Amino acid sequence: MSFRSEQEAAPANKGGPKSMRAWLYSSVQNGLENSLTLSDAAPQPPFPTSPNAKDEVLVKVHYAALNPVDYKIPQLGLAARAIIPVPASPTLDFAGTVAESRIEGYAPGDRVFGQLGPGRFGALGEYVVAKRAGLAKVPEGVGLDQAGAVGTAGVTAYQCIAPNAKPGDRVFVNGGSGGTGTFGIQVAKALGCSVVASCSAANADLCKALGADEVIDYRTQDVCEVLRARAREGGKFALVVDNVGSPRGLYKAADDFLSPGGKFVQVSGGFTLGDMRMLASRALLPSFLGGGRHKFQWLLGKSRHEDLARIAEWMAEGKVKAVIDETFAYKDVPEAYRKLKTGHARGKIIVRVSE
């Protein structure tokens, strides 16, 4: 589409409010998947968000990717209302084309992707306002569907591994076939690491194709015992990335297979009181009281332009790709969330928001 036609087809909301299609929820008491309604007259996000804003673009969304955080935050109840006013549209991850820009170097028609912060206007609306920190350009040769699947999972995987591993290190990715795990295997390999991943037997070939040097079938093997054996045979691990939270004894067992100075990174997880207690015990308790001897980090991926741009470079070079489990039509968003909640997606679930 040309610059002119893109502007005509996707004007910003200058001169008064504009409407758009969006999936909205006001309550998630019955589950997000059962609470969404499709509106043809939802308000577009204000753009610019303030008269002096110089770090944001208005994006026409083509693809959005779903994440567990989409329903976990709204489930916090009253606390969620302080973060996300309702009615709201879910989903943080997007790819699309710039409709209006207040960022130098970004022009209408540019293909972009990224990650929004939690808020009222999510990527299951036709337009979003993206800050530079959560934005990067889509390289030539990379599809918007691929770019749209990166967002939260790609950035989280990168931030777990890149600061904590160097070429030649051994990395264990617990849960290698999910959204963050599939990116994690590839990020570790792109950084020159050796990778062991856990998954079911059905997903072993996928993890190996992404670069895993060895796969542990968590259903038929004792993950901790296998890791102890591998540490004895080939050297201890520099990093464990736990995308799953099970087996529950993994962090304590890591005393036996993490190297001195090694790190255990727990990816997000739940937001219940029990989850918070578990994380606190891992981070604060000494080993003899049930904690571990190694550094522990609970990581929630944070939007960073530099990280998105690095992933984009790797995608252009063929070192990283998004594994897409299924692409849902826009009308089928509730069904997409039902599938996400099963916890058995191979890679990412994405939605085609617009052409």
Tell me how far apart the alpha carbons of residues 298 and 243 are, in angstroms, rounded to a whole number. 11
> Structure tokens of 244?
């799953």
Please spell the DSSP secondary structure of 227-272, one letter per residue.
HHHHHHHH--EEEEEESS--STTHHHHGGGTEEEEEEEEEE----S
Looking up tokens 């309604």 gives: 37
- Residue 215, judged by CB atoms within 10 A of its CB (0-12, 13-18, 19+), counts as buried
Fold of 3-150+322-352: Quinone Oxidoreductase; Chain A, domain 1 (3.90.180)
pTM (2 decimals)?
Answer: 0.89
pLDDT at 289: 46
Q: Where are the beta strands (DSSP E) in the chain?
A: 19-24, 37-43, 56-65, 93-101, 111-115, 127-131, 135-137, 170-174, 194-199, 214-217, 237-242, 258-267, 295-299, 324-329, 348-352
The CB density around residue 222, as the number of other CB atoms within 10 Å, is 13
Q: How confident is the model at residue 1 (pLDDT cuts 50, 70, 90)?
A: very low
Tens of pLDDT, residues 191-208: 999 999 999 999 999 999
Residues of the chain with CATH 3.40.50.720: 154-299
Residues of the chain with CATH 3.90.180.10: 3-150+322-352
Task: Give residue 211's identity as a one-letter amino acid code.
Answer: G
Looking up tokens 């570790």 gives: 188
Tens of pLDDT, residues 213-229: 999 999 999 999 999 99
Tens of pLDDT, residues 228-275: 999 999 999 999 999 998 888 899 999 999 999 999 999 966 555 555
Looking up tokens 């790609």 gives: 154
Lowest mean pLDDT among 69-73, 286-290, 346-350: 286-290
Lowest mean pLDDT among 6-10, 87-91, 209-213, 296-300: 6-10
Tens of pLDDT, residues 273-332: 555 455 555 555 555 445 556 688 888 889 999 999 999 999 999 999 999 999 999 999
Q: For all residues of the chain together, what is the average pLDDT? A: 90
Fold of 154-299: Rossmann fold (3.40.50)
